[in-house]
């Protein structure tokens, strides 16, 4: 039994707090890089639920482990031991910064944990963030997201945040001995796939080393293999003091994590932070599988190669002015006069290609990492058909 799209739109109008501008499509099934709507039409998914389905829709290993764990133990709280959460914490720490892990239910909660950690390490310290950054919608994360349209309606925000231009000198001037953290996305995702230059990352590292502030990388979108290494920081010369992950970590289920290096591993003390659901056995089991799949060196090498293939093909599309990004985290800037929001909608409705506009000028492409060469070529030819 499936409700029609019109019935869902009626329910939305009456009962859903209208925070989302949904596209007029109801998805009912997914497999790999494909989605199907309620009319049985097949779509090529080059958004992957905004970089959540890095392992593809309904990966058989994720489905199997979730079914099995759900039938055995779904929840116990963090008052007791469960194996998946602690095995996942170990895997996350070993795969990156070598310290300790706090599990969460989402990206924004991972950011909250990172902010609390930084303030706990340097009490009352300020948090420095970059213009065009995006870190989430809860109050701490929102206060770290210096965008007028997102912040202004919800003032007053959390005090002690300072936004700075993406410029090494400007950054060096604001980071001081009262700074608790510099928080940044190595590639800014929500604001159009802006790769931060190596000099800026080096300047952030140097400023934190000079002052003792914590360098925090938000890898919620860039992590889990998206850029061709498990974590984006691996392709830079900079190692952060802590990182956040979420989105693709759960293989389609909601989970996030704060991962520290050794220096910050024991800053938070018993009772200082917590979450009822975080690290539950079902999501943690799914995450162990997703992390295993996304750390495979063969898959990561393929992501780098496929990213180059997709970037090169996109550059040949008539309405594309510029291609940006790394691995399979790519954006296209459109030639002047082409509206990205309208184009993404036409791609969905006319070509059954799922992509997303991050602004009126830019479209983002983040397919599942298991995408094939043939699917990449097919997606590009569907985009080209929109130019005809
Ligand atoms: N940080 C980054 C870089 C993100 O891209 C997002 C989500 O788009 C978030 C934080 C917030 O994550 P969530 O939507 O899971 O709260």
- According to DSSP, the residues that pair with 359 across neighbouring strands are 362
pTM here is 0.98
Q: Please report whether residue 67 resides in a domain.
A: no
Q: Are residues 138 and 172 in the same domain?
A: yes
Mean pLDDT of the residues in the chain: 98
Q: Are residues 289 and 306 in the same domain?
A: no
Domain end position, chosen among 294, 321, 347: 294
Give the residue, out of 47, 51, 103, 107, with the most ligand 1 atoms within 8 A of its beta carbon, to mutate for a pocket test. Answer: 107
Q: Are residues 125 and 211 in the same domain?
A: yes
Task: Write the CB contacts of 209 (distance below 8 Å, at least 6 apart in sequence).
Answer: none
Q: Are residues 263 and 313 in the same domain?
A: no
Q: Are residues 214 and 342 in the same domain?
A: no
Q: Are residues 261 and 325 in the same domain?
A: no
Residue 23: pLDDT above 80? yes
**Domain CATH code at residue 118:** 3.40.640.10
- What's the rounded mean pLDDT across residues 169-178? 98
Q: From the CA of 136, how far away is ligand 1's center (Å)?
A: 5
Q: What is the dihedral of CA 164, 341, 155, 173, to 10 degrees?
A: 0
Q: Please report whether residue 179 resides in a domain.
A: yes
Q: Are residues 201 and 138 in the same domain?
A: yes
The CA distances from residue 385 to 146, 344, 350, 388, in Å, are 37, 13, 9, 5
Residue 388: pLDDT above 80? no
Classify residue 310 as exposed, middle or buried by CB count within 10 Å of its CB (0-12, 13-18, 19+): buried
Give the residue, out of 104, 108, 216, with the most ligand 1 atoms within 8 A of its beta carbon, to mutate for a pocket test. Answer: 108
Q: Please report whether residue 170 resides in a domain.
A: yes
Q: Are residues 321 and 186 in the same domain?
A: no
32-87 residue pLDDT tens:
999 999 999 999 999 999 999 999 999 999 999 999 999 999 999 999 999 999 99
Q: Please report whether residue 120 resides in a domain.
A: yes
d(CA 171, CA 151): 22
Q: Please report whether residue 66 resides in a domain.
A: no
233-257 residue pLDDT tens:
999 999 999 999 999 999 999 999 9
Q: Please report whether residue 65 resides in a domain.
A: no
Domain end position, chosen among 294, 317, 335: 294
Does the C-beta of 246 come closer than 6 Å to ligand 1?
yes
Domain end position, chosen among 294, 309, 331: 294
Q: How confident is the model at residue 278 (pLDDT cuts 50, 70, 90)?
A: very high
Which range of residues forms the domain containing residue 48? 5-58+297-385
Residue 1: pLDDT above 80? no
pLDDT > 90: what percent of the chain?
99
Tokens, residue 213? 């502030």
d(CA 98, CA 335): 44
**Domain CATH code at residue 336:** 3.90.1150.10
Q: Are residues 30 and 77 in the same domain?
A: no
Q: Please report whether residue 63 resides in a domain.
A: no
Residue 306: pLDDT above 80? yes
- What's the rounded mean pLDDT across residues 143-158? 97
Q: Are residues 330 and 352 in the same domain?
A: yes
Residue 330: pLDDT above 90? yes
- According to DSSP, the residues that pair with 126 across neighbouring strands are 179
Residue 2: pLDDT above 90? no
Q: Are residues 212 and 135 in the same domain?
A: yes
Residue 333: pLDDT above 70? yes
- What's the rounded mean pLDDT across residues 287-307? 98
Question: Which residue's CA is the closest to the ligand 1 atom numbered 15?
Answer: 107
Domain total of the chain: 2
189-222 residue pLDDT tens:
999 999 999 999 999 999 999 999 999 999 999 9
Q: Please report whether residue 259 resides in a domain.
A: yes
Q: Are residues 322 and 220 in the same domain?
A: no
């Amino acid at each position: 039994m499936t409700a029609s799209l019109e019935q869902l739109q009626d329910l939305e109008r009456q009962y859903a707090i209208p925070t989302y501008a949904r596209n007029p499509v109801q998805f009912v099934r997914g497999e790999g890089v494909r989605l199907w709507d309620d009319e049985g039409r097949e779509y090529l998914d080059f958004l992957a639920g905004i970089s959540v389905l890095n392992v593809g829709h309904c990966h058989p290993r994720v489905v199997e482990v979730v079914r099995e764990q759900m039938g055995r133990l779904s929840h116990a709280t963090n008052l007791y031991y469960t194996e998946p959460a602690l095995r996942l914490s170990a895997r996350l720490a070993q795969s990156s910064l070598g310290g300790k892990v706090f599990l969460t239910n989402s990206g924004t909660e991972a950011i909250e944990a990172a902010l609390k950690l930084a303030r706990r390490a340097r009490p009352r310290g300020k948090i420095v963030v970059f213009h065009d950054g995006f870190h989430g919608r809860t109050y701490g994360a929102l206060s770290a997201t210096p965008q007028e349209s997102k912040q202004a309606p919800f003032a007053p925000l959390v005090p002690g945040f300072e936004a700075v231009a993406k410029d090494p000198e400007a950054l060096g001037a604001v980071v001081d001995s009262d700074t608790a953290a510099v928080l940044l996305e190595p590639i800014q995702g929500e604001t159009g796939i802006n790769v931060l230059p190596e000099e800026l990352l080096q300047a952030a590292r140097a400023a934190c080393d000079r002052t003792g502030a914590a360098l925090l990388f938000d890898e919620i979108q860039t992590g889990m293999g998206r850029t061709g290494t498990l974590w984006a920081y691996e392709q830079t010369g900079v190692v952060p003091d802590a990182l956040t992950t979420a989105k693709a970590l759960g293989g389609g289920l909601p989970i996030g994590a704060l991962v520290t290096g050794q220096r910050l591993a024991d800053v938070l003390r018993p009772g200082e932070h917590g979450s009822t659901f975080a690290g539950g056995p079902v999501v943690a089991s799914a995450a162990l599988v997703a992390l295993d799949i996304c750390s495979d060196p063969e898959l990561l090498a393929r992501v780098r190669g496929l990213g180059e293939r997709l970037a090169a093909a996109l550059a040949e599309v008539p309405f594309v002015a510029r291609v940006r990004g790394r691995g399979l985290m790519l954006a296209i800037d459109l030639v002047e006069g082409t509206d990205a929001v309208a184009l993404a909608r036409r791609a969905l409705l006319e070509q059954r290609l799922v992509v997303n506009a991050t602004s009126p000028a830019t479209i983002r492409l983040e397919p599942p990492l298991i995408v094939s060469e043939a699917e990449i070529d097919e997606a590009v030819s569907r985009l080209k058909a929109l130019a005809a």
